[in-house]
Amino acid sequence: MKKMLFSLMALAAICACQQSGTPAQFNYRGLAFTLPVSQFVDSMLARGFAVDSVASDSGKTVVLASPAEKYRVLAAFRGDTLTVVQETYVLSTNDSTRQMWQELRDGLEQELGAWPDCPMLKEDHKVANFDAGEGLISVLLENTYAPTLTVRYTKKSEQ
């Protein structure tokens, strides 16, 4: 009886450890990095963002903002391929950026099921890097002169 129970537990452990199918595609809030830039921008416009044409550089970057969100989005691209998407949060105090950094870090840790690499963990300067398979997600806190919180999604280069 013990052997049979042990065998069933081992089988359950093996099944739990197996990965299911193909890994999830690297994405920014549900938008795949494989989307053409025009489709990415159209999807962001549908979410209520607007293009900030003054801050955008045609051919290299697009900056999007929404009055409903606490962050601005900068999308950098090469040709018609997204390379980096960066969220920059607009917060008023150092304490609010510290709290948001911790919430974002904890949320990504739970979503990705991985511990971040944290090369810098001081009170007002923190960095958490997550390896997301096809890309990297970095959560950066820099409260040097003004409260600054950034989340950067970077696609790994295919070399």
Per-residue pLDDT tens digits for 86-117: 999 978 777 788 889 999 999 999 998 889 99
pTM, two decimals, is 0.78
Q: Could you report how far apart the first and last alpha carbons of the chain are, in Å?
A: 54
Dist. CA 24–CA 114, nearest whole Å: 14
pLDDT, position 152: 96
Contact by Cβ (8 Å): 81, 38? no
pLDDT, position 158: 59
pLDDT along the chain (159 residues), means of 10: 42 44 75 92 95 84 92 92 92 83 92 89 89 92 86 82
Contact by Cβ (8 Å): 75, 64? yes
Contact by Cβ (8 Å): 40, 34? no
- In this structure, are strands 117-121 and 81-89 parallel, antiparallel, or unpaired? unpaired
pLDDT, position 10: 44
Dist. CA 131–CA 121, nearest whole Å: 18
Contact by Cβ (8 Å): 125, 141? yes
pLDDT, position 98: 87
Q: How many C-beta atoms lie closer than 10 Å to residue 58's C-beta?
A: 7
